[in-house]
Structure 1
Amino acid sequence: MSQQTVQTSEWDGARFGREQGTGVAFGLGMGQIIFIGAGLAVALIVVFLFNSAFPVNLLPAGGVLAVTLAIGVPRIQGKSLLEWASVVRFMVGRRRRGQNEFVPPTSGVALEHTETGWATAPHLDVVDGPVKRSDDTGRDKKGRITVPKATRLVLPGEFAELVMYQLPGGAAFIYDPVAKQAIIIAEIDTHKAFELEEFEGQEDRLRVWAEIEATLSGIEGVAWVQMSDQTTMVSGQAVLDYYESRVNESDYRVDPVTDEHLRNAGQELNPWLHQGLVEMLASVEGRPVHTRWLSVVLNRDQLTKRIQGAGRGIRGFMEVALSVMDTVAEALPESGTEVARWHTPTSAAALIRTAFDPASSVEVTARGEAGVAVGAAGPMYTKTNLGTFESDGAVHQTLKISEFPRQQAKLGFLADIVFAGDFRHTVSMYMKPRNVRKALKKNERDRSTWLTNDTVREKVGKMNTLKNDRQREDLEQEEMEMTSGHAALSMAVYVTVSAMSEPELEAQLSQLRNRVARANCELRPLFGQQDSAFVAAATPLGRLKL
C-alpha cells in the first residue's frame, strides 16, 4: 500500500492584496465624498425651493441626487468619473497648447560637445564589471573625484532636466537637479535559469531574493529601485562578435597528429560547424534577446550628512553612489544574478535611444560598446495620445498590472509576462522602500477605517460581502508580514509594448493579454499618462511619476 507524500512549502498561501484601498468611507475617495456631499446639499436646497405638495417636491431633488450618485460613486479601471474628467481636461489642455508633441530644439542645446567635454573624449573606457572603490580614474592627487562636465539629456517634458555625469571608472551618473535625485544603472546577468531549477532550488532563490529586497530597501537614501527585462532585437553580427570573443578566450589542445596547439573551439575544433554558424549569423537581420537592468534612484535630501562627509555637492553625491554600487554588486550573486557591469554614459544612452526608436536596435547593437552619444539619446519626435505614445515612427502602449494573482501565486509567475512573445516589450518592476513604523501606522488606520465601515453597514442594514472580508484579510496579512521581518515595500509592475504600427501593436497587446491571463493577473492601460508611463517602464531612468 503506497502512501502519498504532500509537498509543503513556506510559500503556501502566498497571495497578493487587491488594488482597491479603504478610501475615506465605503471605499470612496475624498473627492467623491466632497462631490456627493455637495450634491446632497443641492438636493436639500431644491426641496425647500419647490413649494409643491409632498411628494412632488421631492422629484427634482431626487433627480439631482440620482445624477450626483451616478457621477460620484462609480469607479472605472481604478479611477472615479471625477478623476477621468480631470484626465480628459488635462489632455485636451495639452493638445490646445501644443504640449502633446515634442521636437528637440535646434538651438540652445549642446548636441555637439566640445573637445573638453567628457562625452566625446577618446579616453572613456568601458567598465566590464562593478566599479571598484580603488579605481582612481577621474580623481585628483588627493583622491577626490574630479567632477566632469555634465551633458544634458534631450528628452521631452520634465525629463529634459536630467543631466549625465561620468563616475570614476566610467559608470554613468544621471542627476535630476529638480527632484534632487541620482540614477545609477547596472546591467544584470543571470547564470541560473529559474524555471529549470528544482522546486527546492526555486524556494531557496526566492528566499535569497527576499533578503536582497530587504537589503536594497534598507540602503540609506534609496528612493526606489527599478528592475527591468526588455525583449528586443539585436543584429546577428553582435552575436557573431560575442561568439568570436569566446573562441579567442578558449583553451588550447594538442593535435595528436601534428602536435600543434589548437584552440578547443571555433574553426580549429570543427571547421564545418564553425563556417555554418558564421554564415547563419551573417544572414540574420535581427533576433530576440533579453536585456536586463537594475536602476537605483538615490534621494539627495536623505543623504545630506553622508554627502557632506564625502566632499559635499555633486562630488560627495558621487562618492555615496559608488558605495551603493558596491553594496548592490555584493548582494546580488547569491540569488543567481550578478552585476555584469555598470552602464557607461554611452551604453545608458543606447538603452534610452533604442527605447524611443526600436527600429534602431539592430544598428545600435552592432556598435557594441561604443553605444550612443549622450546628446543623441533622446527622440527626434514624440506625440502623446490618450492611450498610446508615439516616438520616432514607433507606437507604444504602457500598462500596469492592476491585479496580481488572487489565489496561490506560483513561483516565477511573472515569467509568463516577461516571455510573452518575440516582440518588443519591456517589463519593469518598481520597489519603493517604506518606513516600517509609518507603514504599520497606516495599516492600523486602514483596519480602523474598515471596522468603522462595517459598523455603519450593520446599522444601515447593508449586507457584508466576501469582497470586503478579503480586503480586510489583506490588511491583516500585510501587518503579519511586516511584523515577521519582511521589508516594507510598495511594489508596482509596468509593461510597455512597442510596435511600428497600430495594427501591429493591437496584435502584440492581444498576445500579451493571453499570457497575462495565464499568470492570473490583470492589466490596465494608463490612459492620459502614456508619456510619463513610457519613460518609467521602457527606459532605465527610474522616473516613477505615476
Structure 2
Amino acid sequence: MASRNRAGHRDEPELHPVKFSRLTRRGVLLGLSLSQLLVLAVAALSIVVALYMGGGMLLAYAAPICLLCAVLAWVPAGGRKLIEWVPIALRWVWRTTGGQLMFRARIVKPRPAGTLALPGDAAALREYLDPATDAAMIHDPHAQTLTAVLTVTHPAFVLLDPSEQERRVTGWGRVLATCCRSGRLARVQVLERTLPDSGSGLAEWWAEHGRADCSWTSNTYAELIDRAGPAGERHATTLSVALDLRTSARAIRTAGGGMKGAAAVLRQEMTTLSAALRAADLTPSEWAGPGEIAVMLRSAYDPAVAATLERHRDLGRSLATAGPVAITESWQHLRSDSAFHAVLWITEWPRSLVYPGFLAPILLSSGVRRAFSLIATPIRSDQAARDIRKKKTEYISDAHQRQRIGQIEDAQQSAEFEDVLQQEADLTSGHGILRYTGLIAVSAPTLDELEAAVSALEQAAIQASCETRRLVGQQAAAFAAAALPLCRTV
C-alpha cells in the first residue's frame, strides 16, 4: 500500500520553482556605463590638455577635476554611483524652482471636456468612450498609447493545492505569451490593491438572505453587519493593456484611422486577452467604463472616501473630477488629499529558485494600505531574438577583452550570461519575453504611520526574497505608475 501511495504521489503534477533573470549591470565597456565613461573621458581630456599646454601648474589645476570625475564615476551612494544621481538631482532642482512640486485643483475654472483631472504630465491624458463596448479608453498623446482597464476576479492562489497552482501558472504563462505575439501592445499592467471594505457585500447578503422581522436578533445582526463591514479589508485586481499607436499605425489606418481606428484595433486585443484569461480560469469582468476608472483614481489619491464611493454607487463617477484636490511632493514621499504616500521599487527579484507564490508576504500583508503594480513590457519574438543575439555577442567580446587585460570575470557576469542563454531557450520553446517593473505604493493617514507601513513592506519584501528601494526625487510620477491602472512608467 505504501509503495502504491508513493507511486501515486509521483504521478501527481508538482509545483515547479522558477528563477528570475538578474537586473543586468553590464556597461558599455568593461562594466562601465555611458555616464561613467563620459566623466572619465573628461578627466582624461583635462590631463591631456594640461600636458599639451606645458604641464607644471596646469597639471595641479587638472588634479581636482580628475579627482571629482573619479568620485562621480566610482563612489556609490544609495545603491547608485554618484554620476547616476546627477540627472535626478538636476531635475528635482528644476522642478523645485519652477514650482512643480505642488498641485492645486482649479475649482472655478473647469477642465476641458474629455481630459482627466490629474497632476503633472498625466494632465495630458484624454478620455475616449468606445461606442461598441462602452469602455473608457485613456489616450496618452505624449507616449502615443491607448489604454483599457479590466477587473479580474480569481480564487486565492495560496489556498489552492500544488497541482492546481501549477495549472494556473501555466495558464497565466499562455496569457503573457498572447500579449507578446501581436507586437501591438506597449505595456501590460497588473495592479493589485488593498481597499477598505465598505460592507456592501455583507449588506447585500443580509438583504437577500436575512429575515428583517424587527426582532431583537434581527436588529442586533443588522447592526453588527453595519459596523463590521467598513472595518474589513478586501483585495481588488485589475489588468490594463496599452496599445502602441506607433507600431499599430498600419492596422489603425486600415480600421478607419484616428481614434476610431485605434479603438477598433484595441478592441481586437481586448477580445483576445479576455479569451486568454478565461482559458486560464480567470474571471474577467466587462471592460471598465468612465465611472469605474473615476472611482479607482479618486480612491488612490483620497483613500478616506473609498468606502463611501463604493457604498454609494452614484457618487464620484466623473473623470473630470476624479483627480486629487491638492498634492505636495517631497523628496521621499507624496501627500495627497487624505493620505501620505511612498513608492518602493523592486530592484531585484529573487536570485534563487522560488515557487510562484513567493509574493504572498507582500500581497497578503494585513493592516497596510498598499497597491502592488507589475508593469510588463512585451517584446516581439523577432526583436527579442535580435536583442539576445546582441547581448550574447557583447558578453563574449567583453569576456575576451577582460581576458586580454587580465581582469577576472566575477560570478555576477557569468550569471547574467546564463540568464541570456535561458531567455534564448525560453524563446525557442515558444514563450514570450517581457521586461518587468515592480512598484509598491504605500499609503497612510499620517507620516509616522507611513514610515511604519513602509518598514513593514520592506520586511515583507525581504521575506519574499526581493530587494526594494524608495524612489526618491520622483515620488509623484512613481505614484501615478504604481497606484493608477493607466499603464504609466517612471
Deviates more, 1:102-111 or 1:221-230: 102-111
- Once the two structures are TM-superposed, the CA of residue 199 in structure 1 deviates from its matched residue by 1.4
SS at structure 2 position matched to 1:151: coil
Aligned to 1:186: 150
Alpha-carbon distance in 2 for matches of 1:320, 1:157: 29
Matched, 1:213 2:214: no
**1:378-409 CA deviation, whole Å, 9 max, x = no partner?**
11111222221211132111111111111112
Aligned to 1:278: 222
- 8 A Cα contact 1:231 1:422, kept in partner: no
- 8 A Cα contact 2:203 2:226, kept in partner: no
Alpha-carbon distance in 2 for matches of 1:230, 1:65: 49
Alpha-carbon distance in 2 for matches of 1:9, 1:79: 43
Aligned letter for 1:344?
G
Aligned to 1:84: 85
- Once the two structures are TM-superposed, the CA of residue 510 in structure 1 deviates from its matched residue by 1.0
Aligned to 2:39: 35
Q: Which runs of 5+ in 1 are unaligned?
A: 112-149, 248-264
Alignment of 1:35-114 (within 5 A): 35-47=39-51, 64-76=65-77, 79-110=80-111
- Once the two structures are TM-superposed, the CA of residue 81 in structure 1 deviates from its matched residue by 1.4
| Structure 1 residues 2 and 326: CA distance shift in structure 2, 3 A | closer
Aligned to 1:19: 23
Alpha-carbon distance in 1 for matches of 2:40, 2:388: 27
Aligned to 1:174: 138
SS at structure 2 position matched to 1:336: coil
- Once the two structures are TM-superposed, the CA of residue 239 in structure 1 deviates from its matched residue by 2.8
Matched, 1:471 2:475: no
- 8 A Cα contact 2:190 2:239, kept in partner: yes
| Structure 1 residues 98 and 64: CA distance shift in structure 2, 3 A | closer
Aligned to 1:481: 426
- Once the two structures are TM-superposed, the CA of residue 185 in structure 1 deviates from its matched residue by 0.8
Aligned to 1:159: 122
Aligned letter for 2:147?
I
SS at structure 2 position matched to 1:187: strand
Rg (Cα) greater in structure: 1
| Structure 1 residues 57 and 372: CA distance shift in structure 2, 3 A | closer
Aligned to 2:323: 378
- 8 A Cα contact 1:22 1:446, kept in partner: no
| Structure 1 residues 437 and 303: CA distance shift in structure 2, 3 A | closer
- Once the two structures are TM-superposed, the CA of residue 108 in structure 1 deviates from its matched residue by 4.4
Alpha-carbon distance in 1 for matches of 2:130, 2:390: 44
Alignment of 1:243-254 (within 5 A): 243-244=205-206, 247=208
Aligned letter for 1:69?
A
- Once the two structures are TM-superposed, the CA of residue 418 in structure 1 deviates from its matched residue by 1.2
Q: Which runs of 5+ in 2 are unaligned?
A: none
Alpha-carbon distance in 2 for matches of 1:88, 1:9: 52
- Once the two structures are TM-superposed, the CA of residue 243 in structure 1 deviates from its matched residue by 1.8
| Structure 1 residues 48 and 518: CA distance shift in structure 2, 3 A | same
Alignment of 1:176-325 (within 5 A): 176-190=140-154, 192-236=155-199, 238-244=200-206, 247=208, 265-267=209-211, 276-284=220-228, 285-325=230-270
| Structure 1 residues 51 and 337: CA distance shift in structure 2, 3 A | closer
Higher helix proportion (structure 1 or 2): 2
**1:112-167 CA deviation, whole Å, 9 max, x = no partner?**
xxxxxxxxxxxxxxxxxxxxxxxxxxxxxxxxxxxxxx521111121111122322
SS at structure 2 position matched to 1:20: coil
| Structure 1 residues 41 and 339: CA distance shift in structure 2, 3 A | same
**1:337-378 CA deviation, whole Å, 9 max, x = no partner?**
211232121111010011011111122121136542221101
Aligned length: 484
Structure 2 length as normaliser, TM-score?
0.90
Identity among equivalent positions (%) equals 28
Deviates more, 1:345-354 or 1:273-282: 273-282
- Once the two structures are TM-superposed, the CA of residue 225 in structure 1 deviates from its matched residue by 0.8
Structure 1 length as normaliser, TM-score?
0.81
User: Quick one: which of 374, 389, 397 aligns to 2:342?
Assistant: 397
SS at structure 1 position matched to 2:105: coil
Alpha-carbon distance in 2 for matches of 1:332, 1:274: 42
Alpha-carbon distance in 2 for matches of 1:340, 1:177: 27
